[in-house]
């Protein structure tokens, strides 16, 4: 298994403020998708410096109970939640569903889950689906969710994603596209670096991808 290492610097950057908000144009509601492109977080050959044990507050009071699954169009997402329930553990699963809701239903609520300076990247990911006239269908599973570290207003969280039962299909015909994305062939790791904004909400600042992190 190839190890994806991350340094304390990234956590500290995640804790810093974000850039001035850019003008955002909502997308059309027409469903469309393309290959699920993942961004790779910077890696280093050196081991990550030690950080304090995760100390994120478990308070997610006033939130609805965690769902066992979510349905978005013809895609069903299953969640294998850990026993602990925190806002950080919910962050990537909520963003994952919201992203596919954007490409399938045209809902742009996924932008609420990212910091302002990450919005262009999130929009680019969604637009690659819409520009290609593709959506996704089938089943996916999110599991092995873990908060690795919390440093000030920065945090690092891992989630394993299994999309082997999911296909990218034509929005017009529903037929699978060829070739299918290589990311769908085996489970992979998504590592998020989160920032706690002034309103007390954790938002995604960077997403890392490791194709062997969940082998």
Residues recorded for the chain: 215
Cβ proximity of 31 and 171 under 8 Å: yes
Q: Is residue 134 over pLDDT 60?
A: yes
Return the beta strands (E) in the chain as ranges. Answer: 69-72, 75-79, 134-151, 154-162, 166-170, 188-196, 202-210
Tokens encoding 117 = 């300076």
Specify whether domain 28-42+67-210 bears CATH 3.10.450.50. yes
The number of beta carbons lying within 10 Å of the beta carbon of residue 185 is 11
Each domain of the chain, given as residue ranges in start order, spans 28-42+67-210
Q: Is residue 103 over pLDDT 80?
A: yes
Cβ proximity of 161 and 187 under 8 Å: yes
Could you tell me the pLDDT band of residue 52, with boundaries at 50, 70 and 90?
very low
Mean pLDDT of 132-157: 97
Mean pLDDT of 160-187: 94
């Amino acid at each position: 298994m190839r190890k994806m290492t991350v340094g304390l610097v990234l956590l500290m950057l995640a804790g810093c403020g974000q850039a001035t908000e850019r003008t955002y144009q909502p997308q059309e509601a027409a469903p469309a998708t393309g290959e699920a492109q993942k961004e790779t977080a910077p890696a280093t050959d050196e081991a990550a410096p030690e950080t304090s044990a995760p100390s994120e507050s478990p308070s997610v009071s006033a939130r609805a109970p965690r769902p066992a699954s979510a349905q978005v169009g013809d895609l069903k997402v299953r969640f294998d939640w850990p026993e602990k329930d925190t806002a950080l553990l919910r962050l990537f699963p909520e963003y994952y569903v919201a992203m596919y809701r954007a490409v399938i239903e045209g809902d742009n609520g996924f932008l609420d889950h990212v910091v302002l300076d990450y919005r262009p990247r999130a929009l680019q990911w969604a637009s690659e689906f819409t520009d290609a006239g593709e959506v996704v269908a089938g089943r996916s599973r999110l599991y092995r969710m873990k908060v690795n570290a919390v440093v000030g207003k920065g945090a690092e969280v891992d989630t394993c994603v299994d999309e082997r039962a999911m296909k990218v299909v034509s929005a017009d015909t529903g037929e699978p596209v060829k070739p299918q994305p290589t990311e769908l062939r085996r489970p992979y790791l998504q590592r998020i670096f989160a920032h706690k904004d002034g309103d007390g909400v954790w938002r995604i600042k960077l997403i890392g991808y490791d194709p062997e992190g969940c082998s």
